[in-house]
Amino acid sequence: MQASLGPLSCRVVVVILNWNGRQYLEPCLRSVFGQEYQDLAVVLVDNGSTDGSLALVRTHFPQVHIIENKENQGFAAANNQAIRASASELVATLNNDTEVDPGWLGALVRAMETDPRVGMCASKMLAADRREMLESAGIAVDRAGIAWGVAGGNADLDEAIPRSVFGPCAGAALYRRAMLEDIGLFDEDFFAYLEDVDLAWRAQWAAWKCLYVPEAVVYHVHSATGKEGSCFKNRLLGRNKIWMLCKNYPFFPFLWYAPLILAYDLMAMGYAIAADRRGAVRGRIAALFKIPAMLAKRRQMVRKISPQAMLARLSPVESPLAVLRRYAHIRASPGDR
């Protein structure tokens, strides 16, 4: 049965997904309720936590609206639950392992107000343990089909003016509900990882815009739930990348770039095998069984720009060494099998 939050008289619903993240919830929620922008309601979607998360929230943050799942529904489905159960003009998605500056939400809302075709806004995500280092200034996708966090690993810059990017990381994003009603919500088949890139790509096809908002500052503990380098994360990333390309890559440009896409993916799999990260290979194999379903979704997508215009929105292909540098700041955890 679909959860209902009833009428929430607010402009923004902030959706926080939780799965056994009790240690992060208190600082996250305190920072959200400390926002200068106050026209908001907070919805926590709990995916079957067993660590006392809900008891903490009910005791210390009774104003939080809770959707309680008996088991882990994944990132995409759980966020969709809260979006469907609410009716606010704007929806913010926020990871439980984040803390936000007091001006975070207000900066995102102001950027959204600059143009009715802005459907997404990306936050400045800084590493929680290295606050001078950028983790993401929005997301980009290149013509080899590789997605990454813009400027990840770079030093923080003193910027103020929003600028266009391909999409936001859903760990700290603001979405316009009108856009979500136009293109659809997160793809629940993805479960977790790259569902935000898929959503942004569909939005780009439908001629929506995204702004990176450098004054919307978020501090993020990278991969606190799905550990970096874990078999779980690598399997889903490998699988979802194939699905994302099947759904979104413009057809005729794909025929031209297919050898390059394949070459870079084979290099990625070779690297994974050498590092004994077999989850990445298993994920790609699992992806093959649902390619027909993804192609069916592709046929249903809203398209308002040409394939050539879409290709222009993808970043140029860089050398393999430059691609590796995009992820050098991410510290992998051992134990991927």
Q: Tell me what the mean pLDDT of segment 305-318 comes to.
A: 98
- What pLDDT is recorded for position 336? 39
**Residue 122 near residue 169, CB atoms below 8 Å:** yes
pLDDT at 190 exceeding the cut of 60? yes
Distances (CA, A) of 19 to 52, 114, 156: 10, 35, 30
Question: pLDDT band at 91, cuts 50/70/90?
Answer: very high
- What pLDDT is recorded for position 5? 72
DSSP 95-162: ETTEEE-TTHHHHHHHHHTT-TTEEEEEEEEEETTEEEEEEESSEEEBTTS-EEETTTTSBP----S-
Please list the helix, strand and coil fractions of the chain in percent, rounded to the nearest 5, in that order: 40, 20, 35
Of the candidates 175, 127, 191, 183, which has an alpha carbon nearest to the alpha carbon of residue 155?
127
> What CATH number does the domain located at 12-220 have?
3.90.550.10
- What pLDDT is recorded for position 271? 86
Dihedral, 4, 7, 13, 14 alpha carbons, nearest 10: -50
* Per-domain boundaries in the chain: 12-220, 231-325
Interval 212-233: pLDDT, tens: 999 999 999 965 555 556 889 9
- What pLDDT is recorded for position 9? 80
Is 293 in a helix, a strand, or coil? Answer: helix
pLDDT over 70, % of the chain: 94
What is the widest separation between alpha-carbon atoms in the chain? 57
Of the candidates 44, 301, 101, which has an alpha carbon nearest to the alpha carbon of residue 219?
101
Higher pLDDT, 1 or 67: 67
- Cα 333 vs. chain centroid, distance in angstroms? 21
- What pLDDT is recorded for position 335? 37
Interval 22-59: pLDDT, tens: 999 999 999 999 999 999 999 999 999 999 999 999 99
Q: Tell me what the mean pLDDT of segment 49-78 comes to.
A: 97
Cβ burial of 335 (10 Å; 0-12, 13-18, 19+) is: exposed
- What pLDDT is recorded for position 4? 60
pLDDT over 90, % of the chain: 88
Of the candidates 280, 284, 283, which has an alpha carbon nearest to the alpha carbon of residue 332?
280
pLDDT at 311 exceeding the cut of 50? yes
Calpha distance 164→249 (Å, rounded): 20
How many Cα atoms sit within 13 Å of 222 on the Cβ side?
22
pLDDT at 166 exceeding the cut of 80? yes
- What pLDDT is recorded for position 329? 87
